[in-house]
Amino acid sequence: MTDPLPQPALPESIAARFAGLDVSAFRGQTRVVVPAAEAHGLLAALRAEGFDLLVDVTCVDYLEYRGATRRYGLVYLLASTGGGQRLTVRVFLDDPQPAIPTVVDVWPGAEWLEREVWDMFGIRFEGHPDLRRLLMPEAFTAHPLRKDYPLQGRGERHNFPVLTRDEG
């Protein structure tokens, strides 16, 4: 059986420009871990290198995760529509006030993806043109996908006026 996937590798020019990247491969998928300060530069270089599609931006909260040393793991899933390669870029962030420069200037489609991550995890994307909540109501104050947020909330779902027959 032949391997249908292109051989995972980081483009040569990227590997030369960003020394000391942590590159690993697992089941045909390449993963790059980059410090937060270099993330924007690396992602912009990858965009110029042909990774023209930002598939998703999401996040993992590693609070109390076995063996984890950093709290938040941002995930950028990139794809090259021309070459067919895929690439995962990870950026690890910590409390308090995790923040990272936005990539909306690189991929305009990142706008809502980053708004969702801000809404759910409270990662602040600096330079984002419109960093509002995407899913939760505007008046919501918590970031519900953080692991220290209780599953049943902190009473938000009960905080509404009660309408009775008299007020109909």
Partner 1 sequence: MALELPENVVVSRLDELANWCRKNSLWPMPFATACCGIELMATGASKHDLARFGAEVFRFSPRQCDLMIVAGRVVMKMLPVLQRIWLQMHEPKWCISMGACASTGGVFDTYAVVQGIDRFIPVDMYVPGCPPRPEQLIQAIIDLQDKIQAEGTITGREFGTRQRQARKRALVEALGPTGVDAARNPVVQRDLRLALQDSPSRPSAASPPR
Q: How far is CA 69 from the centre of its chain?
A: 18
Asked if 132 touches partner 1 (CB under 8 A), the answer is no
Is 73 in contact with 94 (CB distance < 8 Å)? no
Cβ atoms of 43 and 70 within 8 Å: the answer is: no
- Exactly one of 128, 141, 147, 148 binds partner 1 (CB under 8 A); which one? 141
CA distance 51 to 44: 9
Q: In the bound complex, what is the minimum distance in angstroms from residue 148's beta carbon to partner 1?
A: 13
156 binds partner 1 (CB under 8 A): yes
Q: For residues 60 and 124, what is the distance between their CA atoms, to the nearest angstrom?
A: 15
Minimum CB separation of residue 60 from partner 1 in Å reads 19
State yes or no: residue 166 binds partner 1 (CB under 8 A): yes
Q: Cα–Cα distance between 77 and 75 in angstroms, integer?
A: 6
162 touches partner 1 by CB under 8 A = yes
Q: For residue 159, state whether it binds partner 1 (rule: CB under 8 A).
A: yes
- Where along the sequence are the contacts to partner 1 (CB under 8 A)? 136-142, 144, 149-168
